[in-house]
């Protein structure tokens, strides 16, 4: 089957430039460099579970922390291929990347490569506390593991039947995934698409889709954050921020009033939200009702592709030149 070309975040995955020094960004938003890399490095994703954290990036780079992000340790790269997504839960870490690459570390064991069953680029992975995992990628790829990342199988939707108006060969890139403790899976990607499966991938339904005919909210969605309290966010191209108050069943535009590509989001029940992207960063302290644009020089000259927050700590963003930056409000 002939595959259609599409947005694959080439501006992030293919371009790495030097990063400017960071400093105060406003009266109550501060950025502090924790790790500074080189112009040839790039970190693409970061995740925390309590005080344990991991950041991954280009050329298989892995950095880990056990103290909530205060200090980071460089680990030997398990592969020369870039790692684009990572998650960590209850001692299990799963990272995914180029050419279907999946590496896992369970407890005190070392990093192990796993057979993903695909050679498509994998952008994101999500874990539940039970050890179930979902990874998503290019051209409609959705794969799942129910044995702590040991084996994987496809649970991709039947795109031809779901997206009939785009033709039988349409397979949208899927950039973000989340799985809750009941095994409910939510994914997001091209054309403003958000889909959900209540049965571990056996069937899928659209929760949101861009209005292609009227060119409304058709931007790709690059990141997804659904909280246990039912508040959810999805962010993407041209400053698109979607918000849900019912666990993702319905979505409204949160109006960021910027045009940058937004690549990552982390929201907390205390109302603090950090959104990162290409040469832009947004912060909300009232759960998305209002947004402040971070005006730090490091943001204006850089990009950050991942954001996460340890328990009881500040948010950390990762990105260009292998930088890890602490965002304090």
Give yes or no for a contact between 179 and 224, defined as CB atoms under 8 angstroms apart.
Answer: no
First to last CA, the chain: 50
Domain span holding position 167: 10-328
Query: For 136-150, what is each residue's pLDDT tens digit?
Result: 999 999 999 999 999
In a domain, 129, yes or no: yes
In a domain, 303, yes or no: yes
Residue identified by tokens 């192990």 is: 112
d(CA 239, CA 247): 22
Query: For 155-182, what is each residue's pLDDT tens digit?
Result: 999 998 887 776 667 799 999 999 999 9
**CATH for 47:** 2.130.10.10
Question: Any bridge partners for residue 301, and if so which?
Answer: none
Query: For 14-26, what is each residue's pLDDT tens digit?
Result: 333 333 333 445 5
3-state secondary structure of 77: coil
Neighbouring C-beta atoms of residue 312, cutoff 10 Å: 8
In a domain, 4, yes or no: no
Judge residue 215's burial from the number of C-beta atoms within 10 Å of its C-beta, 0-12 exposed, 13-18 middle, 19 or more buried. exposed
In a domain, 2, yes or no: no
Confidence check: pLDDT of 4 > 80: no
Domain tally, the chain: 1
Give yes or no for a contact between 104 and 111, defined as CB atoms under 8 angstroms apart.
Answer: yes
Judge residue 182's burial from the number of C-beta atoms within 10 Å of its C-beta, 0-12 exposed, 13-18 middle, 19 or more buried. exposed
In a domain, 3, yes or no: no
In a domain, 60, yes or no: yes
d(CA 100, CA 243): 30
Q: At a CB cut-off of 8 Å and minimum separation 6, what does 5 contact? A: none
pLDDT at 96: 98
**Any alpha helices (H) in the chain, and if so which ranges?**
10-13, 159-162, 297-300
Q: Between the CA of residue 184 and those of 127, 187, 211, 221, 247, what are the distances in Å?
A: 11, 10, 25, 19, 11
Kindly report which listed range (8-22, 69-83, 197-211, 237-251) carries the lowest average pLDDT score.
8-22
In a domain, 204, yes or no: yes
In a domain, 53, yes or no: yes
Computed over its alpha carbons, how large is the radius of gyration of the chain? 18
Confidence of residue 326 (pLDDT cuts 50, 70, 90): very high
Confidence check: pLDDT of 50 > 50: yes
């Amino acid at each position: 089957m002939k595959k259609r070309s599409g947005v694959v975040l080439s501006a992030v995955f293919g371009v790495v430039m030097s990063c400017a020094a960071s400093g105060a960004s406003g009266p109550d938003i501060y950025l502090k460099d924790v790790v500074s890399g080189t112009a040839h490095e790039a970190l693409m994703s970061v995740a925390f579970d309590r005080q344990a954290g991991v950041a991954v990036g280009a050329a298989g780079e892995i950095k880990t922390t056990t103290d909530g992000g205060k200090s980071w340790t460089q680990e030997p790269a398990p592969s020369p291929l870039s790692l684009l997504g990572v998650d960590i839960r209850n001692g299990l870490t799963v990272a995914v990347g180029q050419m279907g690459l999946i590496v896992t570390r369970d407890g005190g064991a070392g990093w192990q490569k796993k057979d993903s069953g695909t050679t498509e680029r994998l952008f994101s992975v999500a874990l539940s506390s039970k050890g179930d995992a979902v990874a998503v990628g290019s051209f409609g790829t959705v794969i799942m593991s129910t044995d702590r990342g040991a084996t994987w199988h496809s649970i991709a939707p039947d795109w031809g039947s779901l997206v009939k108006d785009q033709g039988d060969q349409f397979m949208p890139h899927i950039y973000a995934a989340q799985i809750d403790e009941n095994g409910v899976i939510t994914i997001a990607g091209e054309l403003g698409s958000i889909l959900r499966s209540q049965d571990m991938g056996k069937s899928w339904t659209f929760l949101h889709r861009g209005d292609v005919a009227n060119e409304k909210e058709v931007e790709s969605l690059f990141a997804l954050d659904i909280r246990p309290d039912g508040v959810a966010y999805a962010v993407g191209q041209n400053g698109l921020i979607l918000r849900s108050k019912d666990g993702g069943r319905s979505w409204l535009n949160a109006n960021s009033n910027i045009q940058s590509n937004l690549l990552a989001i982390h929201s907390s029940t205390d109302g603090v939200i950090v959104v990162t992207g290409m040469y832009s960063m947004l912060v909300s302290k009232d759960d998305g009702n209002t947004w402040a644009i971070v005006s730090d020089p490091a943001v204006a000259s850089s990009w950050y592709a991942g954001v996460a927050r340890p328990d009881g700590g500040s948010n950390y963003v990762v990105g260009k030149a292998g930088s890890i930056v602490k965002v304090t409000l």
